Structure 1
């Protein structure tokens, strides 16, 4: 262990094995893709239907143009951005880089995205759960409980939160970062931030090098099938994660789709506006139904409701060709159902189904 005068509040948190690693050097990392390529054991022929994509060649590990456009869109330096296979890979990389089995705990705040805890358990890291508080109007962090649960190597927060839709204030995040500087990282998952009016907390990394932000193109940018996420962090964190990320994580077709989606904001703005309108329609319709016991509109592209029998509602919806998500297994969400905001036609079908279901057999 380095002496105190040489300690680093970020690097000292990493697993010693990761710090000692000699990263794998892929062919694309060692040389560019110009000239005659005989250095990567690739086929010299593109497959049928390639259409200029050069699918016979390994892609760049961090495609420069996509990285540049993402950094520009998120208003962060390129050196602070790592492109990942969705946010899931970012979560997994953080836990593998910073958490030793049976030693370095992870804090989660359920109900929340299940991959935080699952990835930690796969790594063998202890998981501390600090449940959100339902104050009767909305869900909120248990800040006293969070501080009581410290220390932890990683604290995962989601804002807007999945599945409750509540937001976390930047003041709360900054306070937590100060509390665990030198002990751990605060990870804020902003998968749904485009649907809210909140500003990204990536701007806070200048003041708090132990803050990590997760972004994705899966939600607002309509690229769930492409698996393109971004992890934004201090350059020391990025450097550590690049030691353990897969050598070729990003498929060429996904990169091209990402570049197209980022080329102009018009389509994004139109779709965000339409989803906001459909959310208003859905919330207004749900508020009219006496079978809905609780409704949390939240700040994302979904709403959360409580009914008398979530399993029965899910089954009846499936029979009608509508898939909803049962959240009853999450702490505090007994008989709760999450409903994603769809198109105008999908919203109409859902509301018709709910109204007819209530008329036949109330779900209250």
Structure 2
């Protein structure tokens, strides 16, 4: 498979914008900067940020064991996903494939870019990709297959053998969205980047790292793919405050790992408690920081919890999720209050 053959011709021919901070590569010590029309009065944020986020990428590279040339950062994972669609999908011609029930932004971003969405539902009850159906549904204009693993909203991870089959047989880019990978038993696919040129892995600081407010998404792929994404990303897409806060958080991995361990314990306790709630028909296994449950009447139970001061996600309108609610794992006190309220409904 040639990645270059998958990239839109207009993107391949694009000459990227060169910002002032891209053009100057030397040391910044003892220099007067009069190149970017910035306000010269120092206040901590009067200068443009590093457009390539070099220091932050070096830290991520160390934590993830992935070379910096294989990393692109985005304003949340949504920007990364949007860039991937724009890079590979010709508007009003190409399509992406998604596996409902899944993260809704894949389809939204495709619609924004005038790209068609093909849908191949996950298997009933097990929520695993139907690999042969996916390959059958694809055509020569199917450029990207989105796999959310662990999956949102079902919480399960996809089987490694199925993902490998799709990587080998889908004639396009396979994007594995690993927003919840830190809560899963299964290993990340980051270690497989060198084996599959069409593999792209996305992760985020919004979940396990506790930094949803700074909006930082991470894309890991071949140097070839990352180089092209860098051509089309906005020049200063990661602001200085986000870069500073991300580095501050990533230097506290002991705290991050402690919080992950706590959430995993709370997830287990929450699942056990949910199984004793009368109107919950089924509690689905989870590799994420949330649990999906099937109830007798999702709309009714959702409104009852709202009235009790607890906000959850009603997923009953999603394929295969009839009467299903998605419950985020909170603190011990929050989970206790949730269970107490559920048992009084």
| TM-score normalized with structure 1 length | 0.91
User: Matched residue of 2:146: which SS?
Assistant: strand
Deviations 1:242-278 (A, max 9, x none): 1110110111111111111111321012101111121
Residue of 6, 14, 34 corresponding to 1:13: 6
Residue of 233, 239, 253 corresponding to 1:245: 233
* Corresponding position of 1:220: 208
Residue of 50, 58, 69 corresponding to 1:68: 58
Deviations 1:38-69 (A, max 9, x none): 1111111234xxxxxx2111101121111011
Residue of 128, 136, 144 corresponding to 1:154: 144
Structure 1: distance between partners of 2:317 and 2:243: 36
- Pairing 1:130–2:120 present: yes
User: Matched residue of 1:56: which SS?
Assistant: coil
Structure 2: distance between partners of 1:296 and 1:209: 34
- Pairing 1:44–2:34 present: no
Q: CA deviation at 1:134?
A: 2.0
Deviations 1:89-142 (A, max 9, x none): 11000001110112111000010000111111111111100001124xx32111
- The correspondence of residues 89-128 of structure 1 with structure 2, limited to 5 A, is 89-128=79-118
Asked if 2 retains the 8 angstrom alpha-carbon contact of 1:106 and 1:154, the reply is yes
Structure 2: distance between partners of 1:264 and 1:60: 22
Structure 2: distance between partners of 1:117 and 1:252: 30
- The correspondence of residues 1-364 of structure 1 with structure 2, limited to 5 A, is 9-32=2-25, 33-34=28-29, 35-47=31-43, 54-135=44-125, 138-151=126-139, 152-180=142-170, 183-357=171-345
Of 105-114 and 318-327, deviating more is 318-327
Q: How well do the aligned residues superpose, as a CA RMSD in angstroms?
A: 1.3
Asked if 2 retains the 8 angstrom alpha-carbon contact of 1:170 and 1:201, the reply is no
Structure 2: distance between partners of 1:16 and 1:213: 23
Structure 2: distance between partners of 1:355 and 1:25: 59
Structure 2: distance between partners of 1:314 and 1:26: 49
Structure 2: distance between partners of 1:42 and 1:122: 33
In the comparison of the two structures, how many residue pairs are matched? 340
Unaligned runs of 5+ in 1: 1-7, 48-53, 358-364
User: Matched residue of 2:275: which SS?
Assistant: helix
Q: CA deviation at 1:169?
A: 2.7
